[in-house]
Structure 1
Amino acid sequence: MSDVAPEGSKRSPFTRPGFILSASLVLVLMAAVIVIAFLPNGNNNQGIGEAGPTGKATVSASATPTGDGLGDSICGLPGSMDTALGAAPQSDWELIGKTAVPTAPKTAGPGVVNSDGVRSCFANSPVGALYAAANIFGLVTAGNQQVVLEELAGDSAARDQQLVDLKNSTPEPVSAQIGGFKIQNYTGSSATVDLGIELDSGAVGSVPVPLIWENGDWKLNVTQGGVTGSQQLIDLSAYIPWSGV
């Protein structure tokens, strides 16, 4: 059977077999995009805010990992004793592929962007965790899963297995934007940032990003376990509006 979409229709990238295979092998962030694209809206779930200032091993948030604790980041960004974030930070935005991500290199991060576009060094603070989650999400949607696993994920056997699995897949970029956020939990050593996202199709959903503070930076916490609860939503009214587009 032909894999070509009928003339006049635009096939969703989420339905391409190669994409579905690669997503099943790598980060829950990408798997979450597929979930949001396909699942019907939940009955009990909770709209989205031009870049510029604006007000099978999987990722698991069930366990509380042991991190390095509070302190300045590896590039010297100051930490904070805050444990919550009740309003959207004033943010500047840049594009990774088609996804807008926040940047504050002297305060929240990323304090380092290398020649390959890897964005690292975020502040040990709720804002720093938010910025780290958003930038990791941007890199994943741009098809840079290997970079994320190699350089922006915490050390674990599950992370190493993901890298092995990734050699047999061909990740594809997808178009998704951040529209809001919630800090589900935060300590100086771990955090879970729930990103409200919107796909080109208009579908919106929840993508929780679990993080661990390791070696002076926020890292994606890849462990053996279940998905963090990503799901399609009716709207993003339960999220703090925050968007770069």
Structure 2
Amino acid sequence: MSQSTESTTETNPFTKPGFIIAAALVIALIAATAVIFLLPKGDSNAQPAPAAAGSSSAPAASPGTSATTASNKSVCGLASSSEKTLGTAPKSKWELVGKIATPTDPKTFGPRRTDENGFRSCFAQSPTGALYAAMNVAALGSSGSSVLERQLAEKLLVPGAGRDAAMKQAAADSGSSGSSTPIQVRGFLIKSYTPEEANIDLAFQTEKGAYARLTLSMRWMGGDWKVKPADDGTTFTGTTQISDLSGFILWSGV
């Protein structure tokens, strides 16, 4: 997939019907500097950063208790939390998934499970768990592994038309669709959170310095966080170019 830097009037690929991302295609396009400048410009009325915005060295949210019913507790036994938001960045350990640094805390926030293919799942029912789960989706999708992309579509998307579309696309893809241009997460914003639903903004930066933001809508289902895709299979929404990280809590593993 290629795009000319002169084709600034070309249709935004993120809005094309049937533009499916088992997460990988969006990551690949964000990573292409020529493409990122074709994205819609960010909203000038971006939400302000929380007053206590911190860095990756800030304390993590402490796990607590919640009113989670026994039938919907974590499928792998991770503790839930009564926290409703994150005012600072969690103190995270990072590991590479594909080319993206991804947070990991298997005993507290997840992923609790990693299979022989490197597929990661099971995150805590907490704001930090939802954030880790969202970042996990982005990283798995950018891995370039068709096996991981199929697992992602099958296991980490909310069932429905969108999941069916993503699974169909993942089955049709062959070869690596991962990003050849390194990108890394630089910040996040939890737009809303309840123990059942979360909307999370992630900010990414390409190796050439361009920024983009995107939103993942998460749902707690079957004891883990899953992504709610659009009917065409698109898992990320609101993808826009941004000029800087204003409004985001800084958070990065690289």
2:191 to 184, 193, 200: 184
Alpha-carbon displacement from aligned partner over 1:168-202 (angstroms, at most 9, x marks no partner): 33451113211010001111111111111111232
Which residue of the partner structure matches residue 137 of structure 2?
136
Q: Which has the higher contact order (CA 8 A, sep 6+)?
A: 1
Which residue of the partner structure matches residue 221 of structure 1?
228
Distance in 2 separating the partners of 1:138 and 1:75: 21
Which residue of the partner structure matches residue 24 of structure 1?
19
* 1:209–1:4 distance in 2 versus 1, CA, 3 Å: closer
Counterpart amino acid of residue 109 in structure 1: G
Offset, 1:223: 3.2
Q: After the TM superposition, which residues 89-128 of structure 1 pair with which residues of structure 2 at under 5 Å, given as runs? A: 89-128=90-129
Distance in 1 separating the partners of 2:24 and 2:222: 23
RMSD: 3.5
TM-score (norm 1): 0.76
1:150 to 150, 154, 157: 154
Alpha-carbon displacement from aligned partner over 1:61-105 (angstroms, at most 9, x marks no partner): xxxxxxx95664111110011111110011100000110000011
Alpha-carbon displacement from aligned partner over 1:38-83 (angstroms, at most 9, x marks no partner): 326547276xx9xxx744xxxxxxxxxxxx9566411111001111
TM-score (norm 2): 0.73
* 1:28–1:113 distance in 2 versus 1, CA, 3 Å: closer
Which residue of the partner structure matches residue 172 of structure 1?
177
Alignment coverage as a number of residue pairs: 217
Offset, 1:156: 1.5
Unaligned runs of 5+ in 2: 4-15, 47-53, 59-66
Which residue of the partner structure matches residue 230 of structure 1?
239
Kept in 2: contact 1:193–1:209 (CA 8 A): yes
* 1:110–1:28 distance in 2 versus 1, CA, 3 Å: closer
Offset, 1:222: 1.6
Distance in 1 separating the partners of 2:150 and 2:37: 25
Alpha-carbon displacement from aligned partner over 1:139-162 (angstroms, at most 9, x marks no partner): 111134322101211222220122
222-231 or 148-157: which moved more? 222-231
> What secondary structure is seen at the aligned counterpart in 1 of 2:172?
coil
Counterpart amino acid of residue 162 in structure 1: A
